[in-house]
A and B are shown apart, each in its own frame.
Chain A
């Protein structure tokens, strides 16, 4: 994996983005939500490197702060999906029978819908907010984790050490947590990384539609939405945040590619 240039670049980029997010308060030249109408609508220049928006807020600072928002929502979404999906999937796969059949049905229904539509449905009902956003995105991703976890659980179910544990009288719950989950943890975490890119993209999509975090909190998708009306006069308002989205998603996709290559030697270079 380390020899793969793409993955390496991806990881460096992702690390860079992560650092920007973590160190945001020290990196921003200006306060991202401080309004100063007298400095409104400035084009990119020596002081405000990416210009200012209609309220006089520095675009670069908002983009840097937006990193925190986008990353936290994406990580939360994937985290929720991973946890619930794995638990549900392992439980269904291990138990089998009716539980499994019903679960698969529900998973299939959820997977019929495009991610964004599920997100819209959830947000239409729950309302906006960072946590709700994470939930909305997680709803679409959870079935994927559940499926993988279920598959692995079914595969492990017949193994000798599981049979032995059962023979010793170990409870199902204990078996699941002590034996099955640790064995699939690796795979699940890798899959988690693969879905980070999607999560970030979906957050951007939802924010662009208008269902993202509420102002004045900066969010990349929201910034693009705000800037779109001024696209022809002040293109940087929309183009800059979009570039940020592109870089982060690209980074995670590169990492994902590298991971996929490692897992499936057939497509290795």
Chain B
């Protein structure tokens, strides 16, 4: 297992590097000249040239890539093209809001999804099962931002239960939390739908498995049999897809940021796109990529701990 862990961690390095190359290629090599995009069409060519040289865009590509990677190592993500401020502090300011949302959304998904999955598997083909599965289907079919809009209208406006916009004061935990509830529910419900399905199918397979027959033959109560022995194994597939689900969550948080006006990374990213701020865009992509690679790494390591049989692929 140690062997696997080390190899897996090392594997993350070339993976991350390839991702960085990909991001760089997309941002620099594909069509689109940032100088035109930002300055417009009717500026004199000298202004365009000056823009390009001040941002290092007229250096050969490999030099630009070197700058990019070098900057990452020294913690410098560059300067925003839109507001001329260093990018890293801006990202760090926005990060807590996105992290909050991601954790909370995942927590909701797991907390409600796993029990629901277990229940629907245990009582399959009953009314409980069908209604839960319809609910799941509905959750999968609703865009997160639409859920957010519905929540805002019905809960925050009509019944005045929660604040409508903003992320709250970071220093004040209560404010932070109350601003988190509706957004987290918006992304969490979709998560819940996914997790319920995975748990259900996994648990269904376990329920009739042979080693449980042994436990039953020993005379243990059904409840002990299922939950103590079966559940742990049933949750393994759930762990292995957490990495994928985090990626989905991050994607969902972008639109939810807009709906609730949360000052998170989603808002930063949309702002960058609208103002053609390629440096900011590149930096945010890099950041997201790093998080996802890290989460996938942690998930794989956790999986190795849970299932000692796994070997390096």
Task: Enumerate chain A interface residues (CB-CB to B < 8 A).
Answer: 6, 105, 108-110, 112-117, 120-127, 197, 201, 204-205, 208-211, 221, 224, 228, 231-232, 235, 238-239, 242, 245-246, 249-250, 253-254, 257, 266-267, 269
Min distance, Cβ B66 to any Cβ of chain A, angstroms: 20
Min distance, Cβ A239 to any Cβ of chain B, angstroms: 7
The 4 closest A-B pairs by CB, nearest first: A114-B251, A250-B141, A116-B251, A242-B146
Partner of A112, one of B31, B125, B296: B296
Is the CB of B157 closer than 8 A to any CB of chain A?
yes
Partner of B289, one of A113, A242, A254: A113
**Bound-complex Cα distance A108 to B26 (A):** 16
Task: Enumerate chain B interface residues (CB-CB to A < 8 A).
Answer: 15, 18-19, 22-23, 26-27, 30-32, 124-125, 137-138, 140-143, 145-146, 149-150, 152-153, 157, 201, 204-205, 247-248, 250-252, 254-255, 258-259, 269-270, 273-274, 276, 278, 281, 285, 288-289, 292-293, 296
**Bound-complex Cα distance A125 to B30 (A):** 7
Residues of chain B within 8 A (CB-CB) of A232 are 153, 157
Partner of B152, one of A121, A204, A205, A231: A231
Cβ–Cβ contact A112 & B270, under 8 A: no
- Residue ID in chain B nearest A198 by CB atoms: B140
Cβ–Cβ contact A109 & B145, under 8 A: no
Cβ–Cβ contact B258 & A208, under 8 A: yes
- Residue ID in chain B nearest A5 by CB atoms: B130
Cβ–Cβ contact A228 & B248, under 8 A: no
**Bound-complex Cα distance A256 to B141 (A):** 12
Cβ–Cβ contact B251 & A231, under 8 A: no
Cβ–Cβ contact B19 & A109, under 8 A: yes
Residues of chain B within 8 A (CB-CB) of A121 are 23, 26-27, 281, 285
Cβ–Cβ contact B258 & A209, under 8 A: yes
Residues of chain B within 8 A (CB-CB) of A113 are 247, 288-289, 292
Residues of chain A within 8 A (CB-CB) of B124 are 269
**Bound-complex Cα distance A173 to B140 (A):** 40
**Bound-complex Cα distance A13 to B123 (A):** 28
**Bound-complex Cα distance A205 to B252 (A):** 9
Residues of chain B within 8 A (CB-CB) of A238 are 149
Partner of A246, one of B23, B125, B142, B292: B142
Pick the most buried of A116, A238, A254: most chain B CB atoms within 10 A of its CB: A116
**Bound-complex Cα distance A250 to B124 (A):** 22
**Bound-complex Cα distance A84 to B19 (A):** 21
Residues of chain A within 8 A (CB-CB) of B250 are 114, 117
Known: A113-B288, A249-B140, A266-B201. 12 other contacts (CB 8 A): A112-B15, A112-B247, A126-B30, A201-B141, A204-B146, A205-B251, A210-B270, A228-B149, A242-B143, A242-B146, A246-B138, A254-B137
Cβ–Cβ contact A112 & B30, under 8 A: no
Pick the most buried of B23, B141, B255: most chain A CB atoms within 10 A of its CB: B141
- Residue ID in chain B nearest A232 by CB atoms: B157
